[in-house]
Amino acid sequence: MPIIKSSIKDLRRTARRSAANRAAKGKLRSNLTRVRSAITENQGQAAAQAMAAATPVIDRAVGKRILHKNAAARHKSRLMRQLNRLTKPAAS
């Protein structure tokens, strides 16, 4: 345990930030999992709704510096590509 007053305050601040980051990461992961599971179960409508709900969560994670902007773009791109394959009929 630190003795210096500012270091004690830093510990409290770190604990608050870590808790907020953990909550935001959990929300992000659960939204991504929801989209992926809907896609794997071939539920086009549910997957589209889950993707619509997940997109702003991904963008907020970038704003909070929880996720890098390129990683967010990659997640969104891959999920949208899978969703489009699911909803569009196969080319003959």
pLDDT value at position 33? 97
Alpha-carbon span 60 to 53, nearest angstrom:
12
* Whole-prediction pTM: 0.84
**Residue ranges of the chain whose pLDDT lies below 70:** 90-92
Alpha-carbon span 23 to 27, nearest angstrom:
6
pLDDT value at position 45? 92
